[in-house]
Amino acid sequence: MALRNALYDRQVLKARRLSRPVVSIGNISVGGSGKTPFVIALGTLLHERGISFDVLSRGYGRSSTEIAVVDPNGTPEQFGDEPLLIAQKLKAPVIVGADRYQAGLLAEKNFSAKLHLLDDGFQHRRLHRDFDIVLLQPDDLQDALLPVGRLREPLASLRRAHALVLPDSLDWSFDNKRIWHVRRHMAIDAKANASKAVAFCGIARPEQFFAGLGVNSMCQVIKTVPFPDHHRYSQKDIMQLLSIKAAAGAQIFITTEKDKINLGPLASQLEPLNTVTLSMELQDARSTVDDLIKTLEQGSGYRL
């Protein structure tokens, strides 16, 4: 990774540039930093400003590597679970493909968006970006590189970033970078209140989800069941969950929106199933988006 970054820094390897500005949202660790909720939060703020955008994503876990426009009514096998969730939430074009430059060319040919949001793009240096946003978790600051720890690259790589996004509880600075703070929210259907629940999920940091349920919901979580990140549920998993629910004497299941997508038609067998909405709120959102737009316009010469 260090050699690859050095080659790009010295322009031995060339990044390809799209016609419209690119804002990358990424991290330096393996999963669980909140990229998808942040893309949705930033996209919502851009919608409110009347700034059209599309989203370019790899589409992790999909069965094809071909570039495709996400159908919000499609399946995770076709498009990946996170691109589907983004498309459903933002009602904006989402294009998946291993080559994000080619995905961007397709987007510029077919849509009139003013800018591209590059999902999980910090390490995808083949595509030039005009603004790099990196999300950090507190654990990242003390972690080690893969395979010993979870870091994809060292903290020194944050010098490439334009802005670092931290939880509102974390006070940290790096190399005079912009520091943006976010607050996470979990919303659960009020019908789940006072119920005994089995909570399950297939996300990168399941312990955060389970801990958040204990703080943010009125239901009583009596059993937690973690699955691997991006887990595609099978009938065997459904039978296992139903067995756990019966043994625990629980009344309901609780899971995430991403898991609801990966359950597909199997979700009906787990009713009553309550889906938790995970969202992010960007502090000082107005001035932060003002700064982002100003930087993009000055750097690219493109009027948003």
Domain identity same for 252 and 287: no
Give me the pLDDT at residue 301, please. 83
Give pLDDT, residue 62: 87
Neighbours of 279 (CB within 10 A): 18
| Token code pair at residue 10 | 């010295």
Residues of the chain with pLDDT under 50: none
Q: At what angle do helices 81-90 and 35-49 cross, to 10 degrees?
A: 20
pLDDT for residue 216:
66
Range of the domain at 73: 2-183+282-300
Same domain, 292 and 163: yes
DSSP run (H or E) holding 56: strand 53-57
Q: Using one digit for the tens of pLDDT, what is the confidence trace for 104-123?
A: 999 999 999 999 999 999 99
pLDDT at 191: 72
What does DSSP assign to residue 266? Answer: G
> The tokens 């006072």 sit on which residue?
194
Sequence-ordered alpha helix ranges (H) in 1-111 = 2-9, 35-49, 76-79, 81-90, 100-110
Say if residue 165 is in the same domain as residue 41.
yes
Question: What's the CATH code of the domain at 94?
Answer: 3.40.50.300
Helix or strand or coil: residue 143?
coil
CA nearest neighbour of 84 among 211, 188, 232: 232
Helix/strand number for the chain, H first, E second? 9, 12
CA angle 12, 18, 21 (to 5 degrees): 110
Does 209 lie in the same domain as 74? Answer: no
CATH of the domain at 257: 3.40.50
| 8 A C-beta contact, residue 65 and residue 98 | yes
What's the predicted TM-score (pTM) here? 0.94
Residues 158 and 38 in one domain: yes
On whether both 214 and 128 belong to a single domain, the answer is no
Residues 139 and 162 placed together within one structural domain of the fold = yes
175 with 135, same domain? Answer: yes
Q: Are residues 60 and 178 in the same domain?
A: yes
* pLDDT, tens digit (0-9, with 9 covering 90-100), for 3-52: 888 888 888 889 999 999 999 999 999 877 899 999 999 999 999 999 99
Query: Left, alpha or beta for 302 (phi > 0: left; psi -120 to 50: alpha)?
Result: beta
Looking at residue 5, its pLDDT comes to: 87
Number of domains in the chain: 2
Within this chain, do residues 146 and 12 fall inside the same structural domain, yes or no?
yes
Model pLDDT, residue 146: 92
Residue 102 shares a structural domain with residue 248: no
Q: Clarify whether residues 194 and 267 are in a common domain.
A: yes
Please state, in angstroms and rounded to a whole number, the distance separating the CA atoms of residues 161 and 164: 7
